[in-house]
Chain A
Amino acid sequence: MPVQCSCCGEKRAMLKRPKTGHSVCKDCFFWAFEEEVHETIVSAKLFRHGERVGIAASGGKDSTVLAHVMKVLNERYGYGLELMLLSVDEGITGYRDDSLETVKRNQQQYELPLKIVSYEELYGWTMDAIVKQVGLKNNCTFCGVFRRQALDRGAIMLKVDKICTGHNADDVAETVLMNVLRGDVARLRRCTAISTASEGEAVVPRCKPLKYAYEKEIVLYAYFKKLDYFSTECIYSPNAYRGHARTFIKDLESVRASSIVDIIHSGENLSVREGVKMPVQGTCNRCGYISSQALCKACVLLEGLNRGLPRLGISKHHRLHGKILARQPLTEKEERKLRSENS
Chain B
Amino acid sequence: MAAPLSLHLEFGGGAELLFNSEKKHQVSLPGQAGPWDIRQLLVWIQQNLLKERPELFIQGDTVRPGILVLINDADWELMGQLDYQLQDGDTVVFISTLHGG
Contact = CB atoms under 8 A, between A and B. Distances in A.
Indicate whether A and B are direct neighbours in the complex (CB within 8 Å): yes
Interface of A: 2-3, 12-16, 23, 58-63, 99, 166-168, 170-171, 215-216, 218-220, 223-224, 229-234, 246-247, 250-251, 253-254
Interface of B: 12-14, 17, 64-66, 68, 70, 73-75, 77-78, 93, 95-101
A215 B97 contact: yes
Q: Can you list the 6 inter-chain pairs with the closest CB atoms, starting with the nearest?
A: A250-B65, A60-B100, A15-B75, A250-B66, A16-B77, A231-B14
A14 B12 contact: no
Given A223-B12, A231-B13, A13 B100 contact: no
Nearest to A14: B74
Contact of B100 (A15, A167, A232): A232
Given A219-B68, A231-B96, A250-B66, A58 B74 contact: no
B13 A219 contact: yes
B101 A12 contact: no
B74 A13 contact: yes
A246 B98 contact: yes
Contact of A247 (B65, B77, B78, B99): B65
A274 to B, nearest CB: 35
Given A62-B101, A219-B95, A231-B96, A15 B13 contact: no
A3 B68 contact: no
Nearest to B93: A223
Contacts of A60: 99-101
5 contacts: A15-B75, A231-B96, A247-B65, A247-B66, A254-B65
Contacts of B97: 61, 170, 215-216, 218-219
A213 to B, nearest CB: 12
Contacts of B65: 247, 250-251, 253-254
Contacts of B13: 61, 219, 231
Given A61-B13, A251-B65, A253-B65, A220 B101 contact: no
Contacts, number: 83
Contacts of A170: 97
Nearest to A230: B100
B101 A23 contact: no
A171 B101 contact: yes
Given A59-B100, A63-B101, A233-B14, 17 more contacts: A14-B78, A15-B74, A15-B78, A23-B78, A58-B101, A61-B100, A62-B101, A99-B100, A166-B101, A216-B68, A216-B97, A218-B97, A220-B95, A223-B12, A231-B100, A233-B99, A233-B100
Given A219-B68, A254-B65, A231 B99 contact: yes
Contacts of B68: 216, 219-220
Contacts of B74: 2, 12-15
A14 B98 contact: no
Contact of B101 (A14, A61, A224, A250): A61
Nearest to A167: B101
Contacts of A219: 13, 68, 95, 97
